[in-house]
Amino acid sequence: MKISIQINEGPYQHQASDTAYQFAKAAIAKGHEIFRVFFYHDGVDNASRFTIPPQDDRNVVNNWASLDIKNAEGEPELVVCVAAALRRGMLDEGEAGKNGIDGNNIHPAFRISGLGQLIEAGIQSDRLVVFGD
Amino acid sequence: MSTKKFMYLNRRAPYGSVYALESLEVVLIAAAFDQDVSLSFIDDGVYQLVEGQNPEGIGMKNFSKTFHALGDYDINQFYVSAESLEERGLSLDDLMPLVWEDEDDDWAEKPSIKVVSNVELTKILSEQDVCLSF
């Protein structure tokens, strides 16, 4: 089955991202395809390459990166909503340049794109599963 | 691209958290994808449709006006939980008079909002292909 995931909450504050990760990992292990994971609301914070959790804790961002979810063109399918990301200070190199900001913090396993990617995921996938409050 | 039934389930008050505003942003994008879009409002989500919102005093933007524009994008199926309205002392008269123009009926203005029981809403939800919950 082709599955897409929407994550609405940030890491560590809320378990939604952890649960979604466990779900994605289990689905892949069962032979399903994760078409896209879309990070929305505070969920965009899951894409920060600057998180430093204590050594004895799980690393939520690296967990996502380890799933290596990509499309046929080799682009990451861990997609961060651009509007939600910008208002929360989550920037990739391109957005930082466009907005004159001297830094960027999106992990390379993720990419920034528009909300249309969420709708497209809903259209293309057999299931869209939403994680959050 | 195939057409699917998309439901946006709104459960939260318009201010106090960003879920309602960012839900509306998704709905606006969805309008461009030519899908069969419905919105439903339950729990505190019914407050999103209340007429006469004025959040100026708390420094927030009044985005409720955007709901009026959705009819022009063929988004005209708004289901509001009767129970959620009643629990909050609200009725249809307290909500914005959202309308859409029916091109098959000489562009007659028709109401977009339908108050339904939770039982009816359950049935409507079960008929959807994609349900996004905010």
Angle in degrees, 0-180, between the axes of helices A116-124 and B19-30, rounded to the nearest 10: 70
* ipTM surpassing 0.95: no
CB contact under 8 A, A122 and B130: yes
CATH of B5-133, one of 3.40.50.720, 3.40.1360.10, 3.40.1260.10, 3.40.228.10: 3.40.1260.10
Query: In chain B, which residues have their Cβ closer than 8 Å to the Cβ of A130?
Result: 131-133
The class (CATH top level) of A2-131 is alpha beta
Ramachandran angles phi, psi of B75, nearest 5°: -105, 100
The residue extents of the domains of chain A are: 2-131
The residue extents of the domains of chain B are: 5-133
Cα Rg, chain A, nearest whole Å: 14
Tell me which residue in B25, B32, B35 faces A83 most closely, judged by beta carbons.
B25
Print pLDDT tens along chain B (134 aa): 678 999 999 999 999 999 999 999 999 998 889 899 999 999 999 999 999 999 999 999 999 999 999 999 999 999 999 999 999 999 999 999 999 999 999 999 999 999 999 999 999 999 999 999 99
